[in-house]
Amino acid sequence: MHTVKHWFSDSLMAQGLVVLVLGVGLGALFRGDAHPGLWVIQGLFYTVVVMGALAFQRRRTSRATGADTRTIAGLTRKIRHREVPRDPEERAVMRRLVDDQLGKIERGGRWLPYWLGFMGMAAVGLVVLGATTDGSLVFPLVFAVGVVAFCFWILWMRRRALELHHHMRSALRDRA
């Protein structure tokens, strides 16, 4: 299991394979009456879009830290496990990585209330539409509960990431 996790975090090809399988599976689930070739085409489209975004993000992080993607993946694992590297050069790269990721998290926090509000309005709107039409309320209520759970998960993950990166920033300062 340890090697599979490393393979997925290091390999863009492995991540693309997972996105392709999920895209084809979701196409089959939601468009069961369509031709299977359409599922594959949609899965390939989703894969290209996601892989382009991931490659762009990796290149941006690589430029910001001055390290290659494998080094960044290894340092990200060390950040998650709260391990501070002993090598001064590796510590400097990790410091730049932590600063870059903290900047992304804090910049994203400015738009977070708007995104959460939009998601809440969509959930409430779907419940209202379900209540005013002759349809069943089961799907709108399940969707609304799912949206609320997803919003709380986003807030929890953001708080956890902020705490982790602030801890690493102070740990890197203390060892300097």
Residues 48 and 135 in one domain: no
Query: Where residue 160 falls among pLDDT bands split at 50, 70, 90?
Result: very high
DSSP string of 18-57?
HHHHHHHHHHHHH-TTS-HHHHHHHHHHHHHHHHHHHHHH
Residues 52 and 110 in one domain: no
* Cβ-based neighbour number of residue 144 at 10 Å: 19
* DSSP calls for 85-131: PSSHHHHHHHHHHHHHHHHHHHHHHHHHHHHHHHHHHHHHHHHHHHH
Give residue 132's pLDDT band: very low, low, confident or very high (50, 70, 90).
Answer: confident
pLDDT per residue over 6-34, tens digit each? 777 778 888 899 999 999 998 888 888 88
Q: Do residue 155 and residue 89 come from a single domain?
A: yes
CA distance 41 to 43: 5
The pLDDT assigned to 159 comes to 96
At 81-129, the pLDDT tens digits run 999 999 999 999 999 999 999 999 999 999 999 999 999 999 999 889 8
1 falls within a domain = yes
Q: How many CA atoms lie within 13 A of 69 on its CB side?
A: 14
Q: What angle do CA 65, 71, 75 make, to 5 degrees?
A: 80
Tell me the residue range of the domain where 119 lies: 84-176
Mean pLDDT (the chain, rounded) = 90
The whole-number pLDDT of residue 14 equals 87
Residue 148: inside a domain: yes
Give the pLDDT of residue 149: 95
59 and 99 inside one domain: no
**Token reading at 170:** 């102070």
Is residue 77 one of the residues assigned to a domain? no
Q: What percent of the chain has pLDDT over 70?
A: 98
- How far does the chain reach from its first CA to its final CA, in angstroms? 34
